[in-house]
């Protein structure tokens, strides 16, 4: 129920949406400020994803190398693999957290 600001009379109203969801996104994206910010966020997210996967690939190559060397140093293969995999999981979780943080900022723009 909504009321008149002058006489305080209460009357029923029905809320209707002006645009559909897709139309709202299209209008929001057409604004130059929003478009530039969204493109910058997508670019940063893409670059960080590529860099992260590159680092994960390097770590996997390092895992193979350290597995060969761990036997000479007296460290078991299981401990070497476990520690590197835990490190990779931590890195991937932090990247995922960063991407979720960027997506949570989109409605504020």
Tens digit of pLDDT for each residue in 65-108? 877 777 777 777 777 778 878 888 898 888 888 888 877 776 66
Are 95 and 52 in contact by the 8 Å Cβ rule? The answer is: yes
Q: What is the pLDDT, as a whole number, of residue 33?
A: 84
pTM above 0.95, yes or no: no
The secondary structure of residue 74, as a DSSP letter, is T
Q: What pLDDT, in 10s, does the model give residues 8-41?
A: 889 888 888 888 888 888 888 888 888 888 888 8
- Identify whether 1 is part of a domain: no
Q: Is residue 37 part of a domain?
A: yes
Q: Number of folded domains in the chain?
A: 1
Contact between 78 and 70 under an 8 Å Cβ cutoff? The reply is no
7 assigned to some structural domain: no
Domain annotation covers residue 9: no
Q: Looking at residue 109, what is its pLDDT?
A: 54
For residue 108, the model assigns a pLDDT of 62
If we measure between CA atoms, which residue out of 51, 65, 67, 55 comes closest to residue 99? 51
Q: Give the structural domain span for 30.
A: 15-108
Answer yes or no: is 82 within a domain: yes
52: tokens are 């992260």
Beta carbons within 10 angstroms of residue 80's beta carbon: 20
Fill in the DSSP letter of residue 3.
Answer: E
């Amino acid at each position: 129920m909504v009321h008149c600001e002058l006489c305080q009379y209460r009357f029923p109203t029905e809320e209707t949406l002006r645009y559909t969801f897709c139309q709202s996104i299209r209008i929001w994206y057409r604004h130059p400020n929003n478009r530039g910010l969204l493109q910058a966020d997508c670019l940063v997210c893409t670059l960080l994803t590529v860099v992260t996967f590159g680092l994960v690939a390097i770590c996997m190559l390092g895992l193979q190398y350290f597995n060969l060397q761990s036997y000479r140093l007296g460290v078991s293969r299981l401990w070497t693999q476990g520690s590197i995999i835990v490190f990779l999981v931590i890195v991937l979780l932090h990247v995922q957290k960063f991407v979720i943080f960027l997506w949570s900022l989109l409605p504020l723009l």
